Amino acid sequence: MSRSDTSPGAAPPSTDAIPFDDVAPATIRVLADCGVLSDEPDGAEFCPDSAFKLLAHPGRRIVITHLLSAGPTVTLSQLLDYVFSQSDTGSESKATRQEVTQAFTNRHLPKLDAEGYISYDLEHQQITATAKTANMKPYLAVAVLQERTTNSGQEASDQ
């Protein structure tokens, strides 16, 4: 019996129902807003594609991780201290700190700010969580898990 065959008297399968009973309508709405159901994303809603794109760089993952754990507001100095505490090199020369500071102030913080995931006040050197920051948490978890999996695979192949 083929899939299209139905027994006599049985109602044909509904084409109106969502084929995934465990997918919440809100999830479908987010997917629709992000362009899955159309050609262009609607920028009004939170979009997982945007989250993953921003989290693709470890520097931006560090910003979101630190902001989610340390506070609704952190200073640039506190962020840099966190960055160097997480570094596996253990060295923090003045030149290295300056280079890292420039990377965060010129690229990572402005990019996260422009997308609304943080608010960055350059004058006061403060980074503040926004309503969208908490939305990053599940995507950050996936990105960190992927990074760990990739790194452990590399370490195994190096041995």
Dig out the tokens for 153 from the structure: 């695979």
Find the mean pLDDT for residues 109-125. 92
Partners of residue 75 on adjacent β-strands: 126
Return the beta strands (E) in 36-156 as ranges: 73-75, 118-121, 126-129
pLDDT of residue 95 exceeding 50: yes
User: pLDDT band at residue 88, thresholds of 50, 70 and 90?
Assistant: low
What's the rounded Cα separation, in Å, for the pair 1 and 5?
A: 6
Full-model pTM: 0.63
